[in-house]
Structures are given as C-alpha cells and as structure tokens.
C-alpha cells in the first residue's frame, strides 16, 4: 500500500475481472476504492461518499454507462469522471468527454498507465495565475507556498461559485475559521453575513436556541422572540465550528435542516425557509467518531460534500518563514514597532520547533516577541517565554524530571513528549483512536510518535 493518499475513487464496471484489477491497482497507488456493478449501486454510493474520481464503464450489461454521466456531473461535480471503454468505442468515449467527462481509459491499458492517466488529471495544475491567486488569498489569511496550501487555494477557487456544504478538518490552531472566511469572501455571498458558532462551547440547552431561535414564552428565560443564527445569515454563510462536539440530539435536527432547508424556532408552530450556506469544522477524526456512533454517520455524509484537510504546521514547515514575515508586518504596524525579520540562525531554531499549537501558536509567539522587544531584534526567549515555566519546588511535572527544564528546548520537548505519550497510552489502554481523541491529534500522529519513541501498542492493553 502506498504511503500517499489521493482520495476515494469509484469503479463502475460489471466485469468482475476488470473490477478487481482496477481495485487492486488503484488501492496500491494510494486510493480508497469503492466498486459498483451497475448504475443503481453507483447512485447509492455517490449519495453516501464524496469521491475524488469515478471510473465509469460504458457497457454495464443492461445499463448504458452514459446514462449515469448526467447524475455524476450533478451529484458529484468535483469528481473527475473517466470513461472506461474498449478500443472499438473510442468515438463514444470522445462523445462522453464532450458531455463533461474528464478523460477515457481503454481496457488494454497496463496497470501503471491506468494510475498515470488518472493522476495526471488529479495532480493540481500549476497555471501562471497560481501566484496571483496566492497573493490575493493571503489578504484573507491564507499564507504559504507549500503544496498543501496551493492545493487548498486551488480547491477554494474551484468552489467559489457554488454553495455546497464544506467540511474542514484539522488540528486546533491550523486556521479552520480563516479558511471558512476565505471560502465565504471569494463566493457570491461575500457581501452577505458570515457568522461562526462553536458547537462545543455552548451548553446543549442553549445551543438549539442559538442555532434556530425561539418564540417568546417557549421556555423560562424566553422573554421575547429571538432569531437563530441560521435565520440571521440566511443569505450568507454559517460556520459550525467544532461540529464533532455537537450533541447527538441536535445533530438529528441539523440533518433535517440541511435536507429540508427550513428551520423551526423553539416554541414555533411553523417553519421558516432559509438559504444559509453551511461550512462545518472540527479537530476530531470525524469519520472515526461516526463509526464509533459518537457522531451521526448520515450527518457526516451530508456535511462532507467537499472535504478540506488542513495539515498541521509541522507538516508544512516550509511555510513558517513566510508566516513569520506576515505576522511581523502585522504586529509591527499594530504596535508601531520596527522589529526586524530574524537571522537565518534564529529562523532555523523557529523551524526546528514542532508548533503543537500550529499557526495560532506561531502568531501568538510573534506578537509576544514584538510586544516584549526592547530593540529591533526578534528574540527567541520572548517567543518561547510560555514554555519557560518551572515545576513547583520538590515536585516534577507530570512524570517529567525537573532537570528537563535546564535542557535545550528541543531536548526538553522530546522528554516531555515521550512522557506525555506514555501517559496517554496508559490512560487509553493502548486504544489509538481514544488516544487521538484525548490528545486532539490524528491517529497517524500517535503512530508516528510511538515509532519515534519505540512504544509497542500491546504493552499498554
């Protein structure tokens, strides 16, 4: 299995031999593969999953593959559709491309050619306007030159004229709200209202009222009618932040709202039509939450029409110098300072740190350094002042020897990280999904740390 991930792909073919060949080939290349034998199965799967690409055979027994193309173009507008054909039906394949298909594959293609043809269309293009797009979106908070950021910007460009639901996934501090605002500000709704609500920060008994509103007298403190946030930004965009923390009872009501495009305020007898574009965000592994029945699976599929993955800052460290420059300019202007861009030596130290708090932590560190600066130099001791805490006298911090505080920062962090991971695995009983949930990280991060420090999952079970 490839260590890379290119998305989910659907193979629609009634020939089991061809189906198995494509499935094995594409799974090995790094795709999650689903298969369908006819158009009915295809429609069912498309209604459940968000696909990066679809391989559609023109001859499906009693079905004709072209009959499924309009459905795919409407229900999976971001999926690349590749028509599968024999050499004898190239003309029909070309006709399919003229009607909206991305390309065609002939059944005599070698496995590596299959993957190559598909990836050729999935690899982000590098048009001359990329730099301009990047510069334009930087003003919206999207700053970076990494492939991950360029792919993100390319996707925002693709969806700017549609109002499909978007699900943004990423650790705390990676900039999920920044991305949501960028999506809104580049869309036709840009002149309308944008609102964000943290679904995990509001008590359940108040969250329903915040979302859908209430009528006077519908509960003890309902002194007057109140509009909910869905109605307030009915022509705009609503970010449901930390959707993974929304109570199950409200998830059911939210699903109904997304399906019917109507809301019913608490205590009201009639519903209100809305036209709100919904963006959801969470730091949790939401698919794992759905499989564990902590999140409604049908709501997950409804939200994940377009899924954006925001990588942690440690996975795109090449963006750190540009982010530092942007934050320096921002805070120098705000505080009327003139702190210079750091030297190469200082920048190498900044880039060596893992930034567990991601872009938000880096932004706060730069602000702190500018505020505390006594001259025009950016000082590391100011940036990392929040890490220079000392344990209480006569004790150690969570199992970390007090001598760790006299070590260089990188070594001290490794000592703490190892102790934290060991305690995390003990608490979770070696359950990686639970460890990821507690720590707010992805399971892949937990496995990476276990490999780094030589921990065996079985020793904690």
| DSSP letter, residue 264 | -
Q: In this structure, are residues 447 and 458 in contact, taking their beta carbons and an 8 Å threshold?
A: no
* pLDDT for the residue numbered 299: 95
| DSSP letter, residue 246 | S
Burial class (CB in 10 A: 0-12, 13-18, 19+), 393: exposed
* pLDDT for the residue numbered 427: 80
* pLDDT for the residue numbered 71: 86
Q: In this structure, are residues 163 and 187 in contact, taking their beta carbons and an 8 Å threshold?
A: yes
Length of the chain, in residues: 461
Q: In this structure, are residues 7 and 52 in contact, taking their beta carbons and an 8 Å threshold?
A: yes
What span, in angstroms and rounded, lies between the C-alpha atoms of 414 and 278?
40
| DSSP letter, residue 316 | -
Number of H helices, E strands in the chain: 20, 16
Q: Tell me how many degrees the CA angle 394-399-404 measures, rounded to the nearest 5.
A: 75
What the block records as the tokens of 409 is 């920062």
Q: Cβ atoms within 10 A of the Cβ of 309, count?
A: 14
Give the predicted TM-score (pTM) of the model: 0.57
Strand partners, 262: 273
The tens-digit pLDDT sequence of the chain (461 residues) is 444 556 678 899 888 887 788 888 888 887 778 888 889 888 888 877 667 789 888 888 788 888 888 888 777 766 788 888 776 566 766 677 777 788 888 877 777 788 888 888 775 443 333 333 334 455 445 778 888 888 888 899 889 889 999 999 998 889 899 999 999 998 999 999 898 998 988 888 789 988 999 888 888 778 888 888 999 898 999 999 999 999 998 999 999 999 999 999 999 989 999 999 999 999 988 888 888 888 999 999 999 999 999 989 988 888 999 999 989 998 999 899 999 999 888 888 888 888 888 998 899 999 999 999 999 999 988 898 866 543 333 333 344 454 555 555 556 667 777 888 888 888 888 888 778 777 777 777 787 788 777 788 777 87
What the block records as the tokens of 163 is 């109002």
**Tokens 């990476």 identify what position?**
448
Helices (H), ranges, 15-110: 16-29, 39-48, 69-75, 90-98
* pLDDT for the residue numbered 410: 58
Q: In this structure, are residues 122 and 53 in contact, taking their beta carbons and an 8 Å threshold?
A: yes
* pLDDT for the residue numbered 212: 93
Biggest alpha carbon distance in the chain? 82
* pLDDT for the residue numbered 407: 55
Q: Tell me how many degrees the CA angle 307-275-195 measures, rounded to the nearest 5.
A: 65
From 193, 267, 270, select the one nearest 225 (Cα to Cα): 267
What span, in angstroms and rounded, lies between the C-alpha atoms of 366 and 329?
10
What span, in angstroms and rounded, lies between the C-alpha atoms of 428 and 363?
32
What span, in angstroms and rounded, lies between the C-alpha atoms of 68 and 106?
19
Q: In this structure, are residues 34 and 49 in contact, taking their beta carbons and an 8 Å threshold?
A: yes
Percent helix, strand, coil in the chain, to 5, is: 50, 15, 35
Q: Cβ atoms within 10 A of the Cβ of 252, count?
A: 12
What span, in angstroms and rounded, lies between the C-alpha atoms of 185 and 137?
9
What span, in angstroms and rounded, lies between the C-alpha atoms of 431 and 173?
25
Q: In this structure, are residues 281 and 241 in contact, taking their beta carbons and an 8 Å threshold?
A: yes
* pLDDT for the residue numbered 2: 45
Which residues in 404-423 are b (16+ Cβ under 10 Å) and which e? bbeeeeeebbbebbbbebbe
């Amino acid at each position: 299995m490839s260590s890379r991930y290119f998305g989910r792909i659907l193979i629609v073919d009634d020939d089991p031999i061809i189906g198995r060949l494509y499935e094995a080939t594409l799974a090995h290349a790094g795709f999650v593969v689903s298969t369908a034998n006819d158009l009915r199965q295809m429609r069912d799967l498309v209604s459940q999953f968000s696909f990066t690409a679809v391989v559609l055979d023109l001859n499906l027994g009693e079905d004709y593959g072209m009959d499924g193309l309009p459905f795919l173009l409407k229900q999976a507008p971001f999926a690349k559709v590749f028509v599968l054909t024999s050499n004898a039906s190239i003309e029909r394949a070309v006709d399919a491309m003229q009607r909206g298909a991305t390309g065609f594959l002939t059944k005599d293609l070698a496995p590596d050619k299959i993957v190559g043809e598909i990836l050729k269309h999935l690899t982000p293009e590098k048009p001359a306007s990329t730099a301009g797009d990047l510069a334009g979106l930087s003003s919206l908070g999207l700053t970076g030159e990494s492939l991950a950021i360029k792919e993100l910007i390319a996707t925002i460009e693709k969806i700017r004229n549609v109002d499909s639901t978007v699900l943004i996934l990423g650790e705390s501090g990676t900039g999920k709200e920044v991305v949501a605002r960028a999506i809104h500000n580049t869309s036709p709704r840009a002149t309308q209202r944008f609102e964000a609500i943290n679904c995990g920060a509001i008590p359940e008994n108040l969250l329903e009222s915040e979302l859908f509103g209430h009528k006077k007298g519908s509960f003890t403190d309902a002194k007057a009618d109140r509009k909910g946030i869905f109605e307030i930004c009915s022509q705009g965009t609503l970010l449901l932040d930390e959707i993974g923390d929304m109570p199950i009872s409200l998830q059911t009501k939210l699903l109904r709202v997304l399906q019917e495009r109507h809301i019913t305020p608490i205590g009201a007898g009639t519903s209100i039509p809305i036209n709100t574009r919904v963006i959801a965000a969470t730091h949790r592994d939401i698919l794992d939450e759905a499989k564990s029945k902590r999140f409604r699976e049908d709501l997950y599929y409804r939200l994940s029409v377009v899924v954006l993955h925001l990588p942690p800052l440690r996975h795109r460290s090449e963006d750190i110098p540009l982010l530092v420059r942007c934050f320096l300019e921002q805070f120098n202007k705000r505080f009327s300072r003139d702190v210079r861009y750091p030297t190469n030596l200082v920048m190498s130290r900044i880039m060596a740190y893992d930034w567990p708090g991601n872009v938000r932590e880096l932004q706060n560190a730069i602000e702190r350094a500018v505020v505390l600066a006594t001259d025009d130099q950016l000082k590391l001791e100011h940036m990392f002042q929040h890490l220079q805490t000392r344990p209480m006298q006569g004790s150690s911090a969570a199992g970390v020897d007090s001598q760790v505080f006299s070590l260089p920062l990188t070594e001290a962090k490794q000592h703490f990280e190892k102790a934290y991971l060991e305690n995390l695995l003990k608490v979770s009983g070696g359950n990686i999904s639970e460890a990821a949930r507690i720590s707010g990280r992805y399971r892949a991060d937990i496995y990476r740390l276990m490999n780094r420090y030589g921990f065996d999952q079985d020793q904690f079970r």
